[in-house]
Structure 1
Amino acid sequence: MKVGLANLQRAIGLAGPMRLLVTGLVLVLALMVGRYSWNMPFALAAERGLYDVRVDLSAPRIDQDDRIVLVVFTEETLAATGKRSPLDRTMLARALTNLDKLGPRAIGVDILIDQPQPEDPVLKQALLGMKTPTYFGFSSNAENGEFVMPWQEAHMRGFFGSVASAPVRTANIRLDVDSDNTWRQWPNPAQRPPKLLVGAITGVTGYERYRGSAMFRKPLLADRPVFASLPVDLFGNPDTAAALKDAIAGKIVLVGADLPEVDRFITPFTRISGATTPGVELHAVLIAQALDGRRLQPLSPVVLWGLALLAVVLGSLTGGLDSGARLLVPFAVIGIGLLGWLPYGLQGQGFDTYGMSCAGLGLGWLMALMASGTLARIVGAEQRKFAQGALGKYLPRDVAEQILRDPARLALQGERRPIFALFTDIEGFTSMCQSQPPEVVASTLNEYLDTMSDVVLKHGGTIDKFVADAVVAFWGAPLARPDDAARALACAVEMAQAGERFKVATPERPAMGRTRVGMHWGDVVVGNFGGEGRIQYTALGDSMNVAARLEGANKTLKTAALVSGEAASQMGLENFRAMGRVRVRGRQKPIEVYEPIGAGTAVDDKVLAGLYAAFERGDPTALAALRARSAAAPQDVALAYLIKRMEQVGPGGVYDLD
């Protein structure tokens, strides 16, 4: 938990306050889009379209509703009566008279009697003889001023006032549409009498102030529509009408027009089918819903806000997911699928999703994904920059870049690998620390370690650690290269040479002792060790110990650098001069040691190499020749000490180091 919080704090620090502020603002905007997309012009059309599709897909299929029958004027009716507009009132009068005799529960007429016609007396006479509660469509100038003029309203009031003694009443037949001319919801409640047709004809209460979405249904069978529809012509003749008694008795009959270009509405079904619906059928939809006593359950603001927040959270998590495509793509698909299914699933479960964001959820998800993804990339770039800088202090640049591209190459578990291990130390450093002020020691050591670090990285080595003035490095991990041997040798020589510069005092720092280098080649265990809270990439094993012992052996052998025979054979023995055979503390097996040419006083001397080989073969004259050669090079202290050891142990002997 502490590590996670620390990583989060580090990421916040890398992002910076301005980037966090901008990202936060975008996420807030994404949340608002996810909640209020129905109120945003750029998203409204998409929201309506998606709503229509989910209504169409989730509409239940039912058998024909036997409570409601449509009696309609069709094109055939108009052709027979010779009247298109207004609809023939004589035909209407005959049909109402004959329907009344068949015992319907109620009759609703979705036709406005809004202008005088010669057939009005016939219609009045028919209405005065009605026994069935009958409701004629009515609309006032106040509510529908675009289509109903004051004189039309006055005519309707006068006409129906003249038949007030009959069970004939007016009812509001308004069907409100959205700004895209699509009918989706119940009409606004009537502000003044008369009642809406649905309430008047059913007598069902509780819907007077209802303002939810209409509940659409689809036919179970293609040849049996939800509502039976009969041509009004069938009821113009008493004998024909009598044969339809079973189809009418006890049912609500709605009379209206089913014409291709008159009183037709776009509905959610139009989005897929392309077909419009006659207004009289929409009244039947409302009446059926009222008779069922059903309402779509509205979604509370808390739920709508929660869905918007869910979209933003999912988008943020997807955008900020630090993973490969194998996890990112499924996570994105699951998020998109969930957000896409929710509106359809809720609609199918009886919730009113009119006003619920669908496109907005997707857009909010996308905005959150882009915002968090951008921030994650910025933080990732800063982290990579920081990590590259940090790794660059311990790893060569090309190795660091490969590790950043493929972190798995930096083994989190231990693995056994052969490496060239290098240890360095400064002779007499402890004494210098005791004689110099702390700030001088610190600046001198930092300059020295910077120099040595640059040399290691220059030659492709991995810096394991610094132990006071000691540098520990290796080649062959975390990545091995074919020329690691050459790189390690060149580094050892240059480190020994670089150390010579620090043996000379300057005004800024005191003189330092000789830099000693030890190197060995062998198997070690490399990996990240130290526990979760303090992890370090390091190498463990006997080979590291041997390299450290060889570094210390320089003090006794008076050499600048010592390389084991195992390492020297990998690097090419022609690059070294032999320094005999020694046994170090903690290791019984003798070690052939070599000094690299160019380190300390070691030079490429084939004669010297030949004399040493002759001595090892038992040539008694070789030792005398070596003494003479050493006398001619008094500065080569390492050679003098080599001859001294040879005198002590003889050919093939081993010199024991304390």
Structure 2
Amino acid sequence: MAARALLRRGARVVQDAGRWRLAGTALLLMLALFVAGWDWTRPLGGAGSQREIATADAERGLYDWRAATFAPRVGQDQQVVMVVYDDQTLIATRKRSPLDRGLLARALRNLDAMGAKSIGIDILFDQPQDEDAQLIAALHGMRTPVWLGYANIGDNREQIIFEQQQYLDRFLTRARTDRVRPASIRLETDADNVARSWPRPLAGQPPLLSLAMQPSPRFTDYRGAIRFRMPLAQADGAEEPVIPSLQIDLLADSAMTAALAPMVKGRHVLIGGDIVDIDQFETPLSGRQAKSTMIGLEVHATMLTQLLDEALLPAIPGWAMWAAAALVVLTAGLTSLAELRWFWLVPALVVQAGAIVGAPLWLQARGWDTKGLPAAGWALGWVIAFAAVSAAARAVTSQQRRFAQAALGKYLPRDIAAQILADPEKLALHGEKRPIFTLFTDLEGFTKLSHAIAPEMVAQLLNRYLDMLSDVVLAHGGTIDKFVGDAVVAFWGAPIARDDDGRKAALAAYAMWQAGETFRRDLPPGVPPIGRTRVGLHHGDAIVGNFGGEGRIQYTALGDSMNTAARLESANKALETAVLVSREAMERSGLNWWRPMGRVRLRGRATPVDLFEPAPDFPGEDRALLEQALAAFDTEDVEARAAALGQLKALADRYPEDAALANLVYRYEYIGDGGIYGLG
């Protein structure tokens, strides 16, 4: 049923939107689909373009948070070891840069003797040194495969110039053997200078350092995310680094060979610098670690361990990205079309927001590469689609809503009118028996007044008065049945019943009397005084529906409930009250301001009615005393009834200006047998 209603409304929007509005909505939906489906790591405009989608910064931040939050917690890696030289090493060798090649030559010989599996050197030999011959000799004597760092001026202009490139090429030619070969030490960063991905291969470049040290067909074309890992916390709270490292000074000392051999044997060794402000990279883990950057050597080591573990993070297929984007856009559009009430809309939005936020987290936790996943794009695409469809739907239905406001808004609360507009079947020609709260009003003396002033003034005053009372009814969620002269007939509980109908009906009855008092005080100069507004409220069954035939209908209520409310309104005059409510309505109001006004037999009714009057300013202790005294009249005890009458008189004496209370005493003083006062 709901699906059919949704399809009908969608068809109405498409049919009535108009050519230009449909075109605009379609363009916005295409934009929403693009934003929700585009891989933000791909620049706009194709290869070489530097333009990014607007959400790229947000996507990068969300990805870094996901990658850091779900990064594997591991102990120290046993496959790779880093050999580093730092600022202290350079100071000791009296060379700022590059590293003393004699020291490196000694370290290489010792590593070769320790049984390293392979050696990768993240150093560019782009300048001559006096120790070059020592290093060349050491490289020529290596039994362990050695990979020398290589960079090209074409893709690394900030780090190398033409003369350096020439020297680097000559050095590699001299050093090359069947065991010593060049490898690319190129790393890539995104627009925010954060290293997240494996670098793309470039024409004319040797293999990437990690792939050279451990060839793997599966990783040859891998361009996905680097799998960064976090150290596992120890029992004492300390954390061992994921990739162990040794100082090159120790490895260059032959006396340390035996002690350090267990840390080197069978492992891949990466040699490079840990120099302040040189070769430092931000990573997705930068915000989670004490050191905000990671040296390039450790990035290479991280990639190598990922390769050794065969942790090729599966990428989300492009078709799946666009399918998810289409689902996001479709869900947003359907949610907008559904026009859900808040108690359904809020859960729907929570579920959709949970899916949009949770899906990337779930995929990341399951080991997928979510680097290109448009998490922020999903949210923005949803908003664009929801707004586009909502704007089109509102424009299409504005005419129907204006009709509903004109035809129903003057008689029904806005929320009920909106529901009827959404479901026209509620206006079908039929009647049904329903329990409702029925309210009648009357303006005392208006008929007499209408003969004393000009007809134009009568119309002006009557319209103003009915507007005031109508506003009260609609503000309290009631349905205006009809106007009969200066009288207003209204009810609660139809066409839609709500749990607080009794409370709202009771509050409206009192507010209508107050509105009448305001009307009396604000009469124009020259208009004779006018009487009070009298109100009657009752709860009971009535036949509610549209009556009058196909050509002329009126939504109204028929039955004894209506008659009782009318009799209650009329009883106000005889009992000198302003608002009278039956027990049936009082008990369902949930209010505690009522004071009992006795039991009467209304004209035309055989069954007596217990009356109550709203008295918010009447003291609670006096209200209790009044209830106790009236209860005594339900007994056969003559003495108790006499005592109760005395209590009523004493109470009335304390309120000499309360005409209704005095009238109550009068009725019970002269009441007949049976304790029921009959109204003629």
TM-score by length of 2: 0.62
Aligned-pair identity in percent equals: 38
CA distance in 2, matches of 1:567, 1:105: 102
Residue aligning to 1:358: 375
Query: Deviations 1:288-317 (Å, cap 9, x if unpaired)?
Result: 111122211111122111222333344345
Residue aligning to 1:280: 297
**Letter of the structure 1 residue corresponding to residue 283 of structure 2:** T
Distance 1:331 1:119, change over 3 A: same
Residue aligning to 2:217: 205
Residue aligning to 2:245: 229
CA distance in 1, matches of 2:323, 2:480: 52
* SS of equivalent residue, structure 1 residue 207: helix
**Letter of the structure 2 residue corresponding to residue 248 of structure 1:** V
Residue 263 in structure 1 maps to residue 263 in structure 2:
no
Distance 1:527 1:139, change over 3 A: farther
Distance 1:197 1:24, change over 3 A: same
Contact kept? 2:85, 2:248, Cα under 8 Å: yes
CA distance in 1, matches of 2:335, 2:413: 28
Contact kept? 1:14, 1:383, Cα under 8 Å: no
* SS of equivalent residue, structure 1 residue 86: coil
Contact kept? 2:542, 2:560, Cα under 8 Å: no
**Letter of the structure 1 residue corresponding to residue 320 of structure 2:** V
Shift of 1:3: 6.0
Distance 1:5 1:189, change over 3 A: closer
Shift of 1:13: 6.6
Residue 322 in structure 1 maps to residue 339 in structure 2:
yes
**Letter of the structure 1 residue corresponding to residue 141 of structure 2:** G
Task: Please give the residue correspondences for 1:556-595 in structure 2 after superposition, counting only pairs within 5 Å.
Answer: none
Residue aligning to 2:78: 66
Residue 87 in structure 1 maps to residue 107 in structure 2:
no
Residue 331 in structure 1 maps to residue 348 in structure 2:
yes
Q: Which moved more, 1:2-11 or 1:362-371?
A: 2-11
Shift of 1:272: 4.4
Residue 36 in structure 1 maps to residue 24 in structure 2:
no
Contact kept? 1:131, 1:166, Cα under 8 Å: no
Q: Which moved more, 1:105-114 or 1:164-173?
A: 164-173
CA distance in 2, matches of 1:33, 1:256: 42
**Which residue of 525, 531, 541 corresponds with 1:525?**
541
* SS of equivalent residue, structure 1 residue 98: helix
Shift of 1:379: 6.0
Contact kept? 1:72, 1:229, Cα under 8 Å: yes
**Letter of the structure 2 residue corresponding to residue 175 of structure 1:** L
Residue aligning to 1:174: 186
CA distance in 2, matches of 1:413, 1:260: 86
Residue aligning to 1:442: none
Shift of 1:163: 3.5
Contact kept? 1:524, 1:539, Cα under 8 Å: no
Residue aligning to 2:322: 305
Residue aligning to 1:109: 121
Contact kept? 1:189, 1:210, Cα under 8 Å: no
CA RMSD of aligned residues (A): 4.5
Residue aligning to 1:576: none
**Which residue of 401, 415, 420 corresponds with 2:435?**
415
**Which residue of 477, 499, 505 corresponds with 2:491?**
477
* SS of equivalent residue, structure 1 residue 136: strand
Q: Which moved more, 1:271-280 or 1:366-375?
A: 366-375
Residue aligning to 2:589: none
Shift of 1:331: 3.0
Task: Please give the residue correspondences for 1:381-400 in structure 2 after superposition, counting only pairs within 5 Å.
Answer: 382-391=399-408, 396=411, 400=413
CA distance in 2, matches of 1:70, 1:565: 98
Shift of 1:60: 0.6
**Letter of the structure 1 residue corresponding to residue 348 of structure 2:** F
Task: Please give the residue correspondences for 1:75-154 in structure 2 after superposition, counting only pairs within 5 Å.
Answer: 75-154=87-166
CA distance in 1, matches of 2:293, 2:215: 29
The runs of 5 or more residues in structure 1 that have no matched partner are 422-453, 466-472, 488-520, 548-563, 574-589, 593-658
**Which residue of 65, 83, 105 corresponds with 1:53?**
65
Distance 1:195 1:229, change over 3 A: same
Shift of 1:325: 3.9
Shift of 1:216: 1.2
Shift of 1:377: 5.2
Shift of 1:24: 3.7
Shift of 1:79: 1.7
Distance 1:536 1:301, change over 3 A: farther
Shift of 1:31: 1.8
* SS of equivalent residue, structure 1 residue 352: coil
Shift of 1:209: 2.3
CA distance in 1, matches of 2:272, 2:164: 19
CA distance in 2, matches of 1:69, 1:337: 42
* SS of equivalent residue, structure 2 residue 149: strand
Contact kept? 2:408, 2:417, Cα under 8 Å: no
Contact kept? 2:481, 2:491, Cα under 8 Å: no
**Letter of the structure 2 residue corresponding to residue 341 of structure 1:** G
**Letter of the structure 1 residue corresponding to residue 271 of structure 2:** V
Residue aligning to 2:199: 187
Q: How many residues align?
A: 487
* SS of equivalent residue, structure 2 residue 199: coil
Contact kept? 1:189, 1:208, Cα under 8 Å: no
Contact kept? 1:263, 1:279, Cα under 8 Å: yes
**Which residue of 265, 278, 292 corresponds with 1:249?**
265
Contact kept? 1:524, 1:541, Cα under 8 Å: no
**Letter of the structure 1 residue corresponding to residue 126 of structure 2:** D
CA distance in 1, matches of 2:19, 2:414: 28
TM-score by length of 1: 0.64
Contact kept? 2:316, 2:368, Cα under 8 Å: yes
Distance 1:81 1:390, change over 3 A: same
